Structure 1
Amino acid sequence: MQVNIIGGGILGTMHAFEAVRRGHRVLHLEREAEARGATVRNFGLVWVSGRTRDELTATLRSRELWDDLGGRVPGVGFRPTGSLTLLRTPAEVAVAEEVAERSDATARGFTLLDAAEARALNPALRGKYVAALHCSRDAAVESRQALPAIREYLAATGRYTFLPSTEARSVADGGVRDDRGRRHDGDLVIVCAGAAHGGLVRELAGELPVRRVRLQMMQTAPLGERLTTAIADGDSMRYYPGFAGQAADELARVQPQDMVAEQHHMQLLCVQRLHGGLTIGDTHEYTEPFPFDVMQDPYGYLAGLVEELLGRALPPVERRWAGVYSQCVDPGELVCRRSPAADVHVVTGPGGRGMTLGPVVAEQTADLIGL
C-alpha cells in the first residue's frame, strides 16, 4: 500500500519504519524542516523501571524493538545503559525494597544495591546516597540524531519519501492535500501530530482525552568521565506509577519534597550523551497557557542535586530548553488512537513515554489496522 504519514516526530517516524518494514511505501510529511517538538527535547531514555504493570509487557517489547533497530541503524545510538535510582533516606529505600520483592522485579531487572555496590557499577557516583535501585533493562538512544538516522535508513529502501516543511491541510480517500495545494494520493493516512491537538487533528477526530504537559531540561558540556548508567533520584518514585504502593504512600506522607521540586512537579533524571555531556531534568507544568520563559530555580535545584550525587562540580551548562508533549488522560489507553474513517488513523498522547514506547505503539497500530 501507499501510506501517508503526517508528523515527523518519534511516533510518525516509527509508524513509517513499521510500514516500510512490512513492505509498504511511505510518504512522510512534517510541517517543520525537522521535528522540533518533544521528540528531540527529551532524555532519549527507554525507561522500563517506572512503567505500570499493565504497561510492562508493551514496554519490554518496545525495548526489544529499539535494540533491534539499534542494530540496523547504529546512528540511533541505542545502548543498554541500565539505570540507578539513587536513594538518600530510609523512606526511599523502603519503596525500593517493596518493588524489588514484587513478582515483576526480575522482568524489570530490579536489584537493590548498597552504596558501595552502586559505586562499583557506576564509579562516577562518588557523592551522598545510602543505596540504589538498579534497573538493568533501562536503555538510552540519542534523541537528537535518531530520527535523521532512521529516515536515511528508510530512504535507502527506495520506498520512503520525506517531505519536510510541508503541512497537511486536509485528508480524504487515503490521500493528503498539503499547504501548497498538492494532492498526495494513497491508500491510508496515519496522523501523528504530537502536541498539536487542534487544527487538522480536531477536524478529523474531534475532542480527544489528551492534555499538553510542559517541561524544562538542560544539557552540560562533557563530564570528562563515563557515567555508566542513567540515574534518577527518589522523587522519581513519587512520579512514576510503577512504584505505586504502600511504601510510596508512606514516602509521600513522611518525607515532603523540596519546596522547589514540589512547586515545579520535579524529579531528577540524568543520562550521558555520546559526546559526554549530561542531559538533566525535569519539571512538569499541566496548566495552560504555559509560560513562554524558562525558570531558573529548577535548574539551580537540579544542578545542585546532581553535584551532590556525583560528589563533584558539574561542567558548564551549555543548553537550556522547554518542551511540550501530548499525554492521554484515559488510564485505559496506552496512547490515544482514533479511526475517524477506515483509511484515517490518528495516534497521539504517549505522554512522557514517547521515546520509550514509540516502536511498540507503531507495531500495535500496524497490527490493529492490518498493515
Structure 2
Amino acid sequence: MRVLIVGGGVLGTMHAWQAVERGHDVVQLEQQPEARGASVRNFGLVWVGGRAAGEELSVALRARELWERVGERVPGLGFRANGSLTALRTAAELAVAAEVVARPDAAERGFALLEPAEVRALNPAVRGDLLGALHCSRDAAVEPRVAQPALREALLASGRYTWLPGREVRAVSAHGVRDDFGVEHHGDVVVLCTGAWLGGLVREVVGEVPVRRVRLQMMQTEPLAEPLTTSLADGDSFRYYPAYQGTALDALNASQPQAEIAREHAMQLLLVQRADGGLTVGDTHGYAEPFPFDTEDDPYAHLASVASDLLGRPLPRVVRRWAGVYAQCLDTTRVVHRQQVEPGVWLVTGPGGRGMTCSPAIAFDTAEEIGL
C-alpha cells in the first residue's frame, strides 16, 4: 500500500518505520523544515519504571524492546540501556521505594533498592547525601535532537520512503491529502500524527479531540566533566508517576509536602546526560491555557539546586533553555488516542509525556489495527 504520514515527530516517524518494515511505500509530510515540537524538546528517556500497571506498562516494555532493536540497526539514534536512579533523601522516600520493590511486578520493571555505596559504585558522578536509590535497569535513553533524522536516513535507504518537509496539509480524504502548495498526494491510508497541533486541519476533520495540551520547561548544560552513567530522578518523581501510588506515597505526601515552587509548577527533577556530555534538566508541567510565551527563571533555579544537591557539586553552566507543548489524553490512564476519523484516515495523538518512550509500540499497534 501507499501510506501517507502527516507529522514529522517521533510518533509519525515511528509509524513510517512500521509501514516501511511491513513492505509499504510511505510519504511523510511535515509542516516545518524539521520537527520542532515535543519530539525534540524532551529528555530522550525511554522510561519504563514509573508506568502504570496494566496496558501502560505493557506498551512501555514492548516499546523498550523495539527501541533497542531499532537502535542496533540505526546507531545514530544514540540508544543506550543506561537505566535510571531515583535518589532517596528522606525516610519517607525510602519507604516508597521499599514498597514498590516488594510488589509482584518489580522484577518486570527492573527495580532494585540500592544502598548508598551501591549507588556510587553504579554511578560515581552522584556524590550528594543519599539514603539510597531506586534503580530501574529497564530504563534507557536516545538522543532526541537527532533521532528523527537518523530514522529518516535509514528509511530513505529502503527506496520506499519519501520525506516532504515544509508541507502543511490543508485537506484530507480517504484518497489522500492536499498540501499548501496545492499538490495532491494519493494514498491508501492516511495517519495523522500532528502532536499538539489540534486546531486547523485536525479540528476540521475530527472536531474536538479528548486530549489536552501540556506545557513544559527544560534546560541543558555544558558537558559534565565525567560520565553520568544512569539517568537520574529525585523523589518528587514518585508524586508524578503512577507506578508509585500506594500507602507509602500517601504518607510521603502527608509528611513531606512538596516545595512550594515545585508544587506550583508540577515539577520533578529528571537529569539525562547527552552524547556530548551536556545534561538535559527538567521539567515543569503547565495545564492552563493560554500558555505564557516566555519562560520563568524560578523553576529553573529550583531544578538546578536539586540537581546540584544530588551530584554534590554545582551544575555546569546552562547553555540552553526552552519550553515545549505536548498533547495528553484527558483520560490519563489511556496511553494514546487512536481514532479512525473516516475510511482510510486515522488520528493518533495524546501520548503525553509517554511519547518518546512508547512511540515504537504505539506505531506497531496502529499498524496492526489498520491491517498494514
What is the TM-score when the length of structure 1 is the normalising length?
Answer: 0.99
List aligned pairs for 1:137-156, cutoff 5 A: 137-156=138-157
Query: Partner amino acid for 2:9?
Result: G
Conserved 8 A contact 1:4-1:174? no
Match of 1:26 in 2: 26
Residue 57 of structure 2 is aligned to residue 42 of structure 1 = no
Closer, same or farther: CA 221–178 of 1 in aligned 2, 3 Å: same
**d(CA) in 2 for partners of 1:105 and 1:64?**
18
Match of 1:249 in 2: 250
Which segments of structure 1 move beyond 4 Å, counting only runs of 4 or more? none
Match of 2:340 in 1: 339
Residue 25 of structure 2 is aligned to residue 7 of structure 1 = no
Conserved 8 A contact 2:335-2:354? no
Deviating more after overlay: 172-181 vs 234-243: 172-181
Match of 2:289 in 1: 288
**d(CA) in 2 for partners of 1:131 and 1:257?**
20
C-alpha displacement of 1:134: 0.2
Q: Identity of counterpart residues, as a percentage?
A: 63
Deviating more after overlay: 327-336 vs 292-301: 327-336
Conserved 8 A contact 1:328-1:350? yes
Conserved 8 A contact 1:239-1:267? yes
Conserved 8 A contact 2:174-2:342? no
Closer, same or farther: CA 332–232 of 1 in aligned 2, 3 Å: closer
Residue 131 of structure 2 is aligned to residue 123 of structure 1 = no
**d(CA) in 2 for partners of 1:108 and 1:19?**
29
- The alignment partner of 2:223 has SS state of coil
Match of 1:52 in 2: 52
List aligned pairs for 1:1-371, cutoff 5 A: 1-54=1-54, 55-331=56-332, 333-371=334-372
C-alpha displacement of 1:57: 1.3
Deviating more after overlay: 229-238 vs 205-214: 205-214
C-alpha displacement of 1:87: 0.7
C-alpha displacement of 1:332: 5.0
**d(CA) in 2 for partners of 1:129 and 1:282?**
21
Query: Partner amino acid for 1:104?
Result: D
**d(CA) in 1 for partners of 2:174 and 2:255?**
58
Deviating more after overlay: 312-321 vs 200-209: 200-209
- The alignment partner of 1:221 has SS state of strand
Query: Partner amino acid for 1:292?
Result: F
**d(CA) in 2 for partners of 1:32 and 1:348?**
18
Q: Give 5+ residue unaligned stretches, structure 1.
A: none
Query: Partner amino acid for 1:7?
Result: G
C-alpha displacement of 1:173: 2.5
**d(CA) in 2 for partners of 1:337 and 1:36?**
22
**d(CA) in 2 for partners of 1:58 and 1:211?**
21
**d(CA) in 2 for partners of 1:110 and 1:283?**
25
**d(CA) in 2 for partners of 1:332 and 1:43?**
22
C-alpha displacement of 1:179: 0.2
Conserved 8 A contact 1:83-1:134? yes
**d(CA) in 1 for partners of 2:299 and 2:332?**
29
Query: Partner amino acid for 1:321?
Result: W
Conserved 8 A contact 1:205-1:339? no
**d(CA) in 1 for partners of 2:361 and 2:231?**
22
Q: What is the CA RMSD across the aligned residues, in angstroms? A: 0.7
**d(CA) in 1 for partners of 2:192 and 2:25?**
16
- The alignment partner of 1:53 has SS state of coil
Query: Partner amino acid for 2:8?
Result: G
Q: Give 5+ residue unaligned stretches, structure 2.
A: none
**d(CA) in 2 for partners of 1:36 and 1:27?**
19
**d(CA) in 2 for partners of 1:121 and 1:332?**
33
**d(CA) in 2 for partners of 1:164 and 1:19?**
19
C-alpha displacement of 1:174: 2.8
**d(CA) in 2 for partners of 1:16 and 1:309?**
40
**d(CA) in 2 for partners of 1:174 and 1:240?**
41
Conserved 8 A contact 1:88-1:131? yes
Conserved 8 A contact 2:44-2:356? yes
Query: Partner amino acid for 1:285?
Result: G
C-alpha displacement of 1:331: 4.1
Conserved 8 A contact 1:271-1:278? yes
Closer, same or farther: CA 342–332 of 1 in aligned 2, 3 Å: farther
